[in-house]
Amino acid sequence: MKRFTALYTAIDQTTKTTVKVNELARYFAAAPDDDRLWTVALFSGRRPRRAITTTRLREWAAERAGIPLWLFEESYPIVGDLAETIALVLPPPTRNHENSLSDWIASLRALDKKDDDARKTAVLAAWDQMEAQERLVFNKLLTGGFRVGVSRKLMTRALAQATGRDEAELAHRLMGDWTPDTTTWTTLIEAPDASADLSRPYPFCLAHGLDDTRPEELGPPDDWYAEWKWDGIRGQLIRRGGEHFVWSRGEELMTDRFPELARARDHLPDGTVIDGEVVAWDGTGPMPFNALQKRIGRKRAPKKLLAEAPVLLLAYDLLEEQGDDLRDLPFATRRARLDALLMDLPQEAPLRASPLLPFPTWHDLSETRAQARGARAEGLMLKRKDSPYHAGRKKGDWWKWKLDPLTIDAVMIYAQQGHGRRANLFTDFTFAVRAGNDLVPFTKAYSGLTDAEFRKITAWVRKNTLQRFGPVRQVKPEHVFEIAFEGIHQSPRHKSGVALRFPRMKRWRHDKPLNEANTLDDLHQLLAQYG
C-alpha cells in the first residue's frame, strides 16, 4: 500500500502530464501483479464494492477524533472530500503495517460478510496503522471514487511505456467489463489474443469542438463528410458469437436496457461492430433527450415506457466486419461498407444509417447547421474522409460543430460549496427567473466562471447569506448571470415547468440589475419555440 500511496501522492503533487505518466510507468514496471492489476482497475473506474456506508465511516471517524458528529459534518464541505476529511481529523497512528494494496482490498472485501462491530474494529485498526496520506488512499478505497487527474489515456500511455506494448492495443484490452476477479495481469495485458473476450468494445473515437476554428480552415469541403450531431448517447453495437452487446461511451454495458436492439441480431451477421448514437425515436425522428433519459435510468424498462420511448441506433461507423478490424481503413471506405450493410434493412429494424449531409461549400454547410434544431440535432459532426478510427480524442480528423447555445439572464438565489479542487469555494448555484414580484428557481449551474470569479462570488456569498439550509445558503437576490444551455424541455417535476440540458454560466452580468433579468414568461417562450 505504501508504494501505491507514493504513486498517488506523486500524481497528486504535479500538474504535468509527463511527470504523471513517468510515475505511473515506474509503478507499473515495479509493482507486483495483483497490485498493478488493481491499480489499472481503480484508475479505470472499477472499484471494489462499497462494504461500509459513508454514514458509519463518518460516525466512527468523529468518535475516534473525539469530536461531535455535527462538527465533522461542518468540516466536510470545507474540505470538500469525505475520504480526506476523515484522514485529517483522526489522531496520528500508533502502529505501522506492511500490507500491500491488494492485501487491503482483500481484507476490505472480507468485511462484506461481517457484522457492524467487526467492521468498525477492522477499520479503526486500519486507520491506526496509517499516516494521513495513506489513510486518504485507504478511505478512497472504502468510499469509491478514485479521481486523481489520471485519465484513461494517460494510464494507457504509462502502461505502454512500462510494458513496451502498443498503446492502441492496450486501450482495446482495457475495454469491456473485466474486473480483477475475472482476469489476471497476464491475461489482461500480456496474453496474445486481445479480442478473446467476445463482448469487448473498441475504444471510442472522440471529436474536438470546432470552437474558434472556422470550417474554411479545414480545407476543401470535398475532403469531409458531415452528419447531424445527435443528442442521444454514444453507443457501440457488437454482434459476435451469436450474441449482441451494447456499450455506452462510459463503457457501461447497456444491452439489457435497450431490448429493442436485440432485433439487430436478425439483421446483422456475426463479426460486426457498429458505432452510433442511441436515441429515443418517435417514428419520424429523435425525441428530446429527456425521453431517452427515462430509459437510461431503468435497468429494465416497463412495457409502457418501451412504447412511449422506443430506442434505435443511428449508425455512423463500421468498426468490424466479418470479424475484421476495419479501424485503419479510411472513413469513406468504412462508411460505404456501413451503407452497404444497412441498405436492405427493413423499416422495423432497430438501426439505420445516420444520413450524410451533402454540402458543395462551407457556406452551404453553415446554412444546414442553422437548421439543426429543426432536425432535432444539436449541430453537426465533421469527419475527414480519409481518417482512420482513432482510439480516443485526437485533434484534426473529427470535429463537433455545435449550435450556439440558448441563453437566458437569471438571478442567483442559492449557493453551495464545491468539492475537490473547488472545495471551500461557492461554485454550485441555483438560478431563478422573475415572475411578478417572485423569483422562480429553474436551474442549477456549476461551471463557466473563472477561478477569480468564483473567489469573488464566494466572498460575496459569505457576506450576503440570508439563510442556511445545511450546506445550502440562500443569498440576497442581486447578481444576474447569463445561463447558456443546449436544450429546453417541459418538466412537471420542476416548479418552473422546464428542464434545461447542459446549463452553465456563460457570463456574470455585472451590467444588469435584478429587474433586467429574464422572466418566467421568457422561459416559457423559449420552451414553446425550442422545446
Judged by the rule CB under 8 A, the positions of this chain that interact with another protein are: 12-15, 65, 67-68, 70-72, 74-75, 78-81, 84-85, 88-89, 136, 419-425, 451, 455, 459, 462-463
Shortest spacing between CB 13 and another protein, in angstroms:
6
Q: What is the dihedral of CA 40, 43, 46, 48, to 10 degrees?
A: 90
Asked if 174 and 188 touch (Cβ cutoff 8 Å), the reply is yes
Q: Which residues have CB under 8 Å from 200's CB, separation 6+? A: 172, 175, 176, 194, 238
Active site includes 229?
A: yes
Shortest spacing between CB 218 and another protein, in angstroms:
33
d(C-alpha 61, C-alpha 87), whole Å:
8
HSE at residue 433, side-chain half, CA atoms within 13 A, is 21
Q: What is the dihedral of CA 221, 223, 229, 233, to 10 degrees?
A: -170
Shortest spacing between CB 417 and another protein, in angstroms:
10
Shortest spacing between CB 87 and another protein, in angstroms:
9
Q: Which is nearer to another protein, 15 or 94 (CB)?
A: 15
Catalytically annotated residue among 120, 229, 383, 506: 229
Q: Which is nearer to another protein, 13 or 525 (CB)?
A: 13
Shortest spacing between CB 525 and another protein, in angstroms:
39
Q: Which is nearer to another protein, 89 or 483 (CB)?
A: 89
What's at 253, amino acid-wise? L
Buried b (16+ CB within 10 A) or exposed e, 202-235: bbbbebeebeeeebeebeebeebbbbbbbbbbbb
Q: Which of 318, 478, 288, 312 is nearest to 383 (CA)?
A: 318
Q: Which is nearer to another protein, 13 or 447 (CB)?
A: 13
Asked if 392 and 151 touch (Cβ cutoff 8 Å), the reply is no
d(C-alpha 457, C-alpha 465), whole Å:
12
Q: Which is nearer to another protein, 69 or 191 (CB)?
A: 69
Q: Which is nearer to another protein, 284 or 467 (CB)?
A: 467
Shortest spacing between CB 80 and another protein, in angstroms:
4
**In the numeric block, which cell numbers belong to residue 15?**
500538474
**In the numeric block, which cell numbers belong to residue 277?**
448514437
Q: Which of 205, 193, 189 is nearest to 326 (CA)?
A: 205
**In the numeric block, which cell numbers belong to residue 51?**
462494504
d(C-alpha 237, C-alpha 216), whole Å:
34
DSSP assignment of 215-246, as one string? GGGG--GGGEEEEEEESSEEEEEEEETTEEEE
Q: Which is nearer to another protein, 12 or 177 (CB)?
A: 12
Q: Which of 486, 494, 517, 514 is nearest to 410 (CA)?
A: 517
What's at 340, amino acid-wise? A
Shortest spacing between CB 30 and another protein, in angstroms:
19
Catalytic residue annotation: 229
